[in-house]
């Protein structure tokens, strides 16, 4: 397991070109030194005025991945100044006291950049953290013995992240929350001490994610029928339902989770969809409802330092429409840090990709879904799929993992009981740095 701290992957380049026009503070438009094809919005806060008047300099630059792809929604900080990169990765400051900068984005390695007045333009390179995770079932989280075994598995393999549940299917909140609404509706069923487990995972050098089931919540539907869509599903446009989910997410971030992952962040499928009225909505209305919830979550959780991710059906990355669910990679990934399609070949229809049984082809089905996903992501998001770790041999699980590794993305293993065989998971040496 890789336990070294975040890599400092900054590079500094001085370009012999003029920077963009100066910023006046507040929401501004940044113009790159050469004719741009896109325009970034940045937010700049000036430091308090001093009695000494110093000449100002314009600090401009671009944040990109090692392959040159721009990084959106990265926060560039120079002293008290902060700027957020737009879709093209550009940032700009006007300051009388230039100093070194840090560039950070939840779920990415932090970049540190030195600066002096001779630099006209800065190129900053940063990379997302490669997360290789396993699910921690509520029962495993509640057992000292089972949890110690999962920590041992992470120590001996390439696993560097744990994914806990804090709100599960049906609506149960699995720790002793301070969100009073959860207690009032009778949803609290404390299985484990969330603060203690997060601290133990961090002590072991692990990245810690919590999965929060969003709109599937039978317990809340029963107690708050005005928020009901149909069946056990909350209406994704209900402001009070959204507020409840966000309150739990904010608390999870404050507890110490590094990333908040929303599952069931969609409209229902199957028979519930037929009676919910969602099919009377346009695709744009459905997708906007889900994307706007994730946008609100991002704004709240980024302010606290947490990354935001969302689970989507595997099929939606391979089809052009939202499948009636309100999930399309383009719109959702523009609001979050990581998109996680659930790539479970056992759930694909017989004949998919020409295979009589897709479940017998873990590498091919996994690789095809990843290839379908990558071009559809916003530049500010990364892909990190859930992979099947059930109904398969160790060799088949390894084959699915290998597809993700070959295509350069992280992964998480789903097993409902957290029954993972170490033989199914590669070691650090096998996956490389």
The H helix count followed by the E strand count for the chain is 12, 20
Q: What is the pLDDT of residue 17?
A: 32
Q: Which residues, in sequence order, are CB contacts of 358 under 8 Å at separation 6+? A: 345, 346, 348, 349, 350, 352, 365
Report the C-alpha gap between 248 and 295 in whole angstroms: 16
Q: What is the pLDDT of residue 80?
A: 83
The more confident residue out of 167 and 305 is 167
Domain architecture of the chain: domains with CATH? 26-125 (2.60.40.1120), 132-431 (3.20.20.80)
Cross-strand bridge partners of residue 136: 164
pLDDT band at 41, cuts 50/70/90?
Answer: very low
Q: What is the pLDDT of residue 119?
A: 67
User: How many other CB atoms are there within 10 angstroms of residue 28's CB atom?
Assistant: 19
DSSP assignment string, 394-420: HHHHHHHHHHHHHTT--EEEE-TT---
Specify whether the CB–CB gap between 85 and 72 falls below 8 A: yes
Q: What is the pLDDT of residue 42?
A: 40
In percent, the amount of the chain with pLDDT more than 70 equals: 86
SS3 assignment, position 290:
helix
Residue 112: is its pLDDT beyond 50?
yes
Report the C-alpha gap between 279 and 297 in whole angstroms: 25
pLDDT band at 54, cuts 50/70/90?
Answer: low
Lowest-confidence range among 104-108, 131-135, 267-271? Answer: 104-108
pLDDT band at 433, cuts 50/70/90?
Answer: low
Side-chain-facing half-sphere of 350: CA atoms under 13 Å: 2
116 burial (CB, 10 Å; 0-12 / 13-18 / 19+) is exposed
Residue 326: is its pLDDT beyond 80?
yes
What pTM, to 2 d.p., does this model score?
Answer: 0.82
Side-chain-facing half-sphere of 263: CA atoms under 13 Å: 20
Side-chain-facing half-sphere of 144: CA atoms under 13 Å: 1
Residue 32: is its pLDDT beyond 50?
no
What digits encode the pLDDT tens for the residues 366-375? 999 999 999 9
- Look up residue 132 and give its two tokens: 């290789």
pLDDT band at 69, cuts 50/70/90?
Answer: confident
Strand 207-213 relative to strand 259-263, pairing? parallel
Specify whether the CB–CB gap between 71 and 43 falls below 8 A: no
Q: What is the pLDDT of residue 94?
A: 82
Strand 307-313 relative to strand 259-263, pairing? parallel
Mean pLDDT of all residues belonging to the chain: 87
Q: What is the pLDDT of residue 67?
A: 85
Q: How far is CA 289 from CA 133, 194, 208, 283, 366, in A?
A: 29, 30, 28, 10, 29
Residue 24: is its pLDDT beyond 50?
no
What digits encode the pLDDT tens for the residues 197-256? 999 999 999 999 999 999 999 999 999 999 999 999 999 999 999 999 999 999 999 999
User: Which of 30-44, 84-98, 322-336 tops mean pLDDT?
Assistant: 322-336
Q: Which residues, in sequence order, are CB contacts of 149 under 8 Å at separation 6+? A: none
Specify whether the CB–CB gap between 175 and 194 falls below 8 A: yes
SS3 assignment, position 284:
helix
pLDDT band at 331, cuts 50/70/90?
Answer: very high
Q: What is the pLDDT of residue 59?
A: 81
Cross-strand bridge partners of residue 212: 167, 262
């Amino acid at each position: 397991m890789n336990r070294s701290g975040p890599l400092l992957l900054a590079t500094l380049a001085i370009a012999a070109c003029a920077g963009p026009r100066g910023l006046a503070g507040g929401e501004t438009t940044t113009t790159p030194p050469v004719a741009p094809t896109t325009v970034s919005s940045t937010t700049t806060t000036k430091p308090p005025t001093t009695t000494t008047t110093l000449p100002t300099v314009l600090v401009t630059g671009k944040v990109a991945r090692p392959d040159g792809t721009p990084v959106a929604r990265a926060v560039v900080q120079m002293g008290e100044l902060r700027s957020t990169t737009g879709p093209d990765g550009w940032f700009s400051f006007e300051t009388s006291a230039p100093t070194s900068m840090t560039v950070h984005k939840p779920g990415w390695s932090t970049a540190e950049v030195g600066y002096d007045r001779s630099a006209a333009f800065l190129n900053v390179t940063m990379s997302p953290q490669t997360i290789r995770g396993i699910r921690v079932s509520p029962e495993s989280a509640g057992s000292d013995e089972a949890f110690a075994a999962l920590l041992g598995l992470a120590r001996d393999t390439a696993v560097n992240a744990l994914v806990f549940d804090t709100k599960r299917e049906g609506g149960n909140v699995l720790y002793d929350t301070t969100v009073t609404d959860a207690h009032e509706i009778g949803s609290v069923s404390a299985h484990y001490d969330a603060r203690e487990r997060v601290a133990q995972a961090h002590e072991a050098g692990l990245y810690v994610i919590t999965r929060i089931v969003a709109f599937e919540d039978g317990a809340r539907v029963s107690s708050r029928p005005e928020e009901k869509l149909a069946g056990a599903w909350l209406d994704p446009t209900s402001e009070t339902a959204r507020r409840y989910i966000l309150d739990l997410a904010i608390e999870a971030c404050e507890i110490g989770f590094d990333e908040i992952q929303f599952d069931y962040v969609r409209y229902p499928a199957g028979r519930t969809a037929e009676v919910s009225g969602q099919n009377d909505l346009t695709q744009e209305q459905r997708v906007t409802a889900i994307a706007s919830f994730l946008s609100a979550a991002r704004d709240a959780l980024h302010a606290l330092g947490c990354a935001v991710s969302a689970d989507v059906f595997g099929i939606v990355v391979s089809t052009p429409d939202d499948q009636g669910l309100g999930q399309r990679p383009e719109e959702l990934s523009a609001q979050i840090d990581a998109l996680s399609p659930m790539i479970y070949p056992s759930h694909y229809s017989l004949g998919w990709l020409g295979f009589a049984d897709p479940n017998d082809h873990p590498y091919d089905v996994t690789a095809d879904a990843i290839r379908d996903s990558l071009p559809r992501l916003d530049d500010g998001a990364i892909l990190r799929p859930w992979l099947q770790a059930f109904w398969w041999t160790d060799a088949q699980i390894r084959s699915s993992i290998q597809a993700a590794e070959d295509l350069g993305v992280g992964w998480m293993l789903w097993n409902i009981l957290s029954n993972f065989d170490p033989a199914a998971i590669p070691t650090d040496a096998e996956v490389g740095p």
